[in-house]
Amino acid sequence: MHVQIVKDPAAGGVAGFKVFQQALAAGAKVFGLATGSTPISIYDQLTASDLDFSQLTSINLDEYVGLGSDHPQSYRYFMQHHLFNAKPFAHSYVPDGLNTDADTETKRYESIIAANPIDLQLLGLGRNGHVGFNEPGTAPQSTTHKVALTPSTIAANARFFDNADEVPRYAYSMGIGTILKAKQILIVAYGAEKAAAVAAMLQGPVTADVPASFLQTHPNVTVILDEQAASQLK
């Protein structure tokens, strides 16, 4: 695992952009993408660049069950706003949050990934070591699946909705096994609140208690951290 420590998220965006740039130059055709605040500085760099993704494919990690693509809190909407409107891909896949048949939707999504092997997968890191919606206890061989969101996640998301009943209780997410099939992985973490998870991911045992620790088993992982997120590394 190649670890790069930067001053702040803005510098992390520049460093992450370079990883995308190098992957594109090396012939990458399929990019796995993530949502949340962490990748925004990378997406800002991409949208401001002259890189062309119009002949390429993107595949997102996850989506809330019950939210359509036009819902402002859906991950499809997030991607349109932060990347796709400025940098369209030939094909952009996000799980269909309105498909309530979990077996059908997860199998459909796995078939998309099998047909479009991911060259570079972007990840954020949760405070408890989760990646995507793969919470502690997720099996390393897991594929795309329906996840029951934790009470803390539901509570944290409540501020984005008019009332508590609207907050999604489930999501579709790539599994750990699916993520590990990517040829290259880029994981990014910022802030002191991520420091313990970073140390467990990089220097702790490989365990389902810290899903991100399974990245230690992958042959090509780049880790971008700000100084605070790296503060507990030995």
Residue 130 is among the residues annotated as catalytic for this protein: yes
pLDDT in tens, 10-32: 999 999 999 999 999 999 999 99
Catalytic: which of 44, 60, 62, 105? 62
E-strand ranges in the chain read 2-6, 30-33, 57-60, 62-64, 91-93, 120-124, 145-148, 170-173, 184-189, 221-226
Are 95 and 172 in contact, with CB atoms under 8 Å apart? Answer: yes
Closest CA to 207 of 129, 104, 155, 124: 129
Catalytic: which of 44, 96, 119, 135? 135
pLDDT in tens, 45-68: 999 999 999 999 999 999 999 999
pLDDT in tens, 142-197: 999 999 988 878 887 888 888 888 899 999 999 999 999 999 999 999 999 999 99
Please count the other Cβ atoms lying within 10 Å of the Cβ belonging to residue 20: 21
Are 90 and 52 in contact, with CB atoms under 8 Å apart? Answer: no
Catalytic: which of 44, 60, 116, 130? 130
Q: State the pLDDT at residue 161.
A: 87
Q: State the pLDDT at residue 155.
A: 84
Residue 96 is among the residues annotated as catalytic for this protein: no
Residue 103 is among the residues annotated as catalytic for this protein: no
pTM of the model: 0.95
Q: What is the DSSP letter of 82?
A: I
Catalytic: which of 110, 128, 157, 218? 128
pLDDT in tens, 209-226: 999 999 999 999 999 999
The span from the CA of 117 to the CA of 153, in Å, is: 30
